[in-house]
Chain A
């Protein structure tokens, strides 16, 4: 039996997404494919799989991404699929613990990659939002919601970036003492 769930996560909640996918796996629903805000599960034994996701460095069809995915597969994990630049893997729990990153510096790099993936669009929204509102006010033109929408989206994204930044700082503090 297959089950499809439509659900969305903001990129800065990637850990929440992964936790949810693993809670499904614990219940015996193993992720089998991903799409735009779409997760497809298949029946499995409870706790049969552990699921991990990450943001790839390059686009999915880039040879570097392909070679990375192959590398992870060679370590016994199964490639589930990709959505945007996010890649999903699963591995049978009986084959040992499954992590994609085991040290602080690679975890920090992953967070930097996620920040980098949204920074431009967030700044763009803030910029156009501010510009729109400025012109609306200074030219006394008719009310235009566009600027507020842009500014709202930008501010929302900025909160996400700040969260990721804090997470990164915490890891960096640990790195001063541990590797």
Chain B
């Protein structure tokens, strides 16, 4: 079980890449998912993508001839990390919910 918290950015990047997406697509999708709250900056996203590729949590898809944009997709390993993180977030959320009830 992976028990180290992912950054908000990495969490949303992995969640976005359950479908193939290029860099700009990820930024747009994360903006959409977070209702405009999380705006990934290009440099930060680029660094995160490279780290995730190195870790083998995502892969770059073979480039199509007429497209210069590289697309990425989550791997099996990435899927595992993502579901572990969702479980961890659920725990955080459930415990917080009980706290609110007690008020």
Contacts and interface: CB of A to CB of B under 8 A. Distances in A.
Contacts of B7: 103, 105, 179
Contacts, number: 51
A99 interface: yes
B43 A74 contact: no
Interface residues of B, number: 18
B19 to A, nearest CB: 18
A57 to B, nearest CB: 9
Interface string B63-99: 0000011000000000000000000000000000000
A106 interface: yes
A105 B40 CA distance: 13
A20 interface: no
A179 B23 contact: no
A102 interface: yes
Interface in A46-85: 54, 68, 70-72, 74-77
Given A100-B41, A102-B40, A106-B44, A75 B9 contact: no
Interface of A: 54, 68, 70-72, 74-77, 96-97, 99-103, 105-106, 109-110, 179
15 contacts: A54-B43, A72-B46, A75-B24, A75-B42, A96-B39, A97-B39, A100-B42, A101-B41, A102-B40, A102-B41, A102-B44, A103-B44, A105-B7, A179-B7, A179-B8
